[in-house]
Structure 1
Amino acid sequence: MRLMDLKDKDINIQENVPLSKFTFTKTGGPAEYLAFPKNIEELKELVKVTKDNNLPLTVIGNASNLIIRDGGIDGLVVILTEMKTITADPESKTVTAMAGARIIDTSEVACQAGLSGLEFAAGIPGSVGGAVFMNAGAYGGETEYVIKSVDVLTRDDEFKTYTHDEMEFDYRHSIVQDTGDIVLSATFGLVEDDSLAIKDRMEYFNGLRRAKQPLEYPSCGSVFKRPTGHYVGPMIIKAGLQGKSIGGAQVSMKHAGFIVNVGNATATNYLDLIHLIQKTIKEKFDVELHTEVRIIGKEKD
C-alpha cells in the first residue's frame, strides 16, 4: 500500500504544504506529505506505510518550540493535534492526555478536577507529547515531576509503556529523543487540592508570563538552554545584542532570551541570528550556548 492510498480510509493527508502555517514562529518550508491522524489506529497505519515504503517520517506536536528550516521536510510529516482527548480520574489522582492535547488544556482539566501539580504548565503553548519529549518546564515545575507513565508507538510499529524512571528525564531531555518512539499519551500523577487555589496559582504564573515574555509576537519560546552558572538573557543584553535583527527575526526587546518574528522572518533569519548570538557569547564570556528549541528540516536549495 502507498501513502496516498490511505486517503481512501478517510485519513487526512495533504501534499506540499507550507509548515509555516503551523509553526509558532510562522516560518518553515513545505512538508512533502502532511497528515493529521485522528486516533492511534490512523497513526499506526501511517507509521506502517512509511516503514513499508522506506519513507522518512517526522512527528511533531503543536510546533511551539520548533524551527523548521526553509527547505522543508522530505517524506511524511505527522501533526498530532487531532489526538487531543484528556480525562481526569480524581479517585486515582491522575490525568491522562493524548499526545496532541495542549498542555495548557491538560492543566485546566486537572484544575477542574481538583488535582494539583500541572500549574507550571498553565501557559506553556506546547502539546503533551512535546512536553514529554522535551521535559518542558517553567517556574520551578517540570514535566518529569508529575509524569507517572507514558504510552508510545515504536518505529517498529509496537506499543510500549514507559514508567517514570524508564523515561530517563533530564534537563530538556527524555528517552524518546534517543529512541525515536512516538508519544501517544501521558498519565500525570497529581495531588488533591482546592480548585480555586490551583486556579490562583495558574493565573499568577500566567501573569508573570505576560509581564516578562513577548507574547504579542510569533516566537519559538525560550531559544537557549540555561548554561550552568549563567542566565542567557542578561548575557545577551551585556553583549549588546538585545534588539539585534536579521531579516524579520529580532532578539526581543522584552525578553532577550526570545527571538521574535517582527515581520516576514524566515527560518534562515532565525538560524543566522541564533548562530550570531552563540558566536558572540562565546567570544565575550567563553560560554557555549546550546539551543533548547528543536531545529529540523533541510536547507533551502
Structure 2
Amino acid sequence: MNFSGLEAKVKGTLVYDAPMSRYTTWRIGGNADCLFLPEDGEDIVAALSFAKDRDIPYMVMGNGSNMLVLDGGIRGLVIKIGESMSSYTLQENLVLAAQSGCILAKMARETARMGLKGLEWAAGIPASLGGAAVMNAGAYEHSFYETLQAVEIINGDGKLSTITVDDLEYGYRNTSLMQSGVVVTKVFLQMEEGIAEELTASVDMTLKSRRDKQPLELPSAGSVFKNPPGDHAGRLVEASGLRGLMLGGAQVSEKHGNFIVNIDHATAQDVLALIDQVQHIVNQKFGIMLEPEVRLVGEK
C-alpha cells in the first residue's frame, strides 16, 4: 500500500509496519501497514483526505484498551489519537472540554482534585475519552453518558462539527458513533461542584477496589464480555469453574472471571479460542451466550 506523500501533509508521527502489540493494553496483535499519531485536528483531516483520495482503508483508535488486534495485523492506515491531543479546559457552568486523547483514569483523578464531581467511578479505566464516548464506557452501574454533554467530531469529508447527546443514540456499551465513520476529537462533560478531598478519597477507594478485584498488573483489555440482563458475566464465568483456564499464553484471570490476561506472549488466536471456549461452557451450564464487548480489528 502506497503512503508516499503523507509525511509532507502532516505534522504528526508516522510508524510504518507498526507492531500493534505496543499500542494496545492487551499487548497483542500483528503489524499495521501505517500507524499515524496526529498532533491535532488538522492532522486528522489531512490524513483522512489522503486516505480517501487513494482509497486506503483507515481506522481510528484511542488508547487501545478495548480492542483485540488480530495476528495478521491491520491493512491501511491506523489513526491513533493520544498524548498530543490530551489537553482540557474548564468552561462556563462547569463544562469540561477535553480532547479525545485524554485518558479517562487520569481525568477521574484530575477532576476530583479540581473539586469537580462526575468521574470518580472511572478511576483506573485506561480508555481514552474519545473511546469512552464511542462505546459508552462504564463501571459500577455508571456510564460515560451520564456526564457527556456533546462531542466534537470530524466526518469522512473532513468537516468539523459538534453533536449534542440528544442527537446520539446510546445504550449499554453501544452508541450510534460506533459505525458512523466519524472521528471524535473532543468531548464536553457536564461536571458538578464537589469537595476535592471527598472526591479524591472516592477515587482512591475505587482504585483500591479495582486493584483488589481485577488483574491490573497484567496486560488485558478490561472486561471481555458484556453483562447479560440481570446478571454479571464474571459471576457466570466463575460459577462455571473457568477461573484460571488457560489456552496458549492467554488465561481467564484468577482474580476476575470477566478478564482474560496475557500471561505469556499470547496471540490473538489464543484469546479468540479462549473466548469461544468460555462462551461454550457458560452456555452449556446456564443457557446464556455471553457477548464480547471487545472490538476485533485486523486480519487473522
Structures share a fold, TM > 0.5? yes
Q: Look up the match of 2:230.
A: 229
Q: Look up the match of 2:269.
A: 268
Residue correspondence of structure 1 range 1-301 to structure 2 within 5 A: 3-8=3-8, 9-81=10-82, 82-89=84-91, 91-299=92-300
Secondary structure of the structure 1 residue equivalent to 2:5: helix
User: Take 2:178 and 2:125, find their aligned partners in 1: how far apart are those partners?
Assistant: 20
1:101 Cα deviation after fit: 1.0
1:4 Cα deviation after fit: 3.4
User: Take 1:159 and 1:199, find their aligned partners in 2: how far apart are those partners?
Assistant: 35
Residues 214 and 255 in structure 2, CA contact (< 8 A), matched pair in contact too? yes
Residues 67 and 296 in structure 1, CA contact (< 8 A), matched pair in contact too? yes
- Tell me the alpha carbon deviations over residues 72-117 of structure 1, each in whole angstroms, 9 at most, x when there is no partner: 100000110021112123x420111111111122223322332100
Residues 59 and 79 in structure 2, CA contact (< 8 A), matched pair in contact too? yes
Residues 87 and 109 in structure 1, CA contact (< 8 A), matched pair in contact too? no
1:11 Cα deviation after fit: 3.1
1:178 Cα deviation after fit: 2.4
User: TM-score, length-normalised on structure 2?
Assistant: 0.96
Residues 11 and 38 in structure 2, CA contact (< 8 A), matched pair in contact too? no
1:237 Cα deviation after fit: 1.9
Residues 151 and 160 in structure 1, CA contact (< 8 A), matched pair in contact too? yes
1:59 Cα deviation after fit: 0.5
User: Take 1:207 and 1:150, find their aligned partners in 2: how far apart are those partners?
Assistant: 31
Residues 60 and 80 in structure 2, CA contact (< 8 A), matched pair in contact too? yes
Q: Which moved more, 1:225-234 or 1:57-66?
A: 225-234
Matched-pair identity in %:
36
Q: Which amino acid aligns with 1:252?
A: S
User: Take 2:262 and 2:28, find their aligned partners in 1: how far apart are those partners?
Assistant: 9
1:124 Cα deviation after fit: 0.7
1:10 Cα deviation after fit: 3.6
Q: Which moved more, 1:17-26 or 1:160-169?
A: 160-169
User: Take 1:199 and 1:159, find their aligned partners in 2: how far apart are those partners?
Assistant: 35
1:160 Cα deviation after fit: 2.1
User: Take 1:118 and 1:279, find their aligned partners in 2: how far apart are those partners?
Assistant: 36
1:236 Cα deviation after fit: 1.3
Q: Which moved more, 1:278-287 or 1:17-26?
A: 278-287
User: Take 2:20 and 2:183, find their aligned partners in 1: how far apart are those partners?
Assistant: 20
User: Take 1:255 and 1:144, find their aligned partners in 2: how far apart are those partners?
Assistant: 25
User: Take 1:97 and 1:210, find their aligned partners in 2: how far apart are those partners?
Assistant: 27
User: Take 2:269 and 2:210, find their aligned partners in 1: how far apart are those partners?
Assistant: 27
Residues 97 and 187 in structure 1, CA contact (< 8 A), matched pair in contact too? yes
User: TM-score, length-normalised on structure 1?
Assistant: 0.95
1:70 Cα deviation after fit: 0.4
The alignment of Structure 1 onto Structure 2 pairs a total of residues equal to 297
Secondary structure of the structure 2 residue equivalent to 1:179: coil
User: Take 1:44 and 1:33, find their aligned partners in 2: how far apart are those partners?
Assistant: 16
Q: Which moved more, 1:236-245 or 1:144-153?
A: 236-245
Q: Which moved more, 1:261-270 or 1:279-288?
A: 279-288
Q: Which amino acid aligns with 2:57?
A: P
User: Take 1:104 and 1:233, find their aligned partners in 2: how far apart are those partners?
Assistant: 22
Unaligned runs of 5+ in 1: none
Structure 1 stretches of 4+ with a deviation exceeding 4 A read none
Q: Which moved more, 1:105-114 or 1:61-70?
A: 105-114
Q: Which amino acid aligns with 1:6?
A: L
Unaligned runs of 5+ in 2: none
User: Take 2:17 and 2:274, find their aligned partners in 1: how far apart are those partners?
Assistant: 27
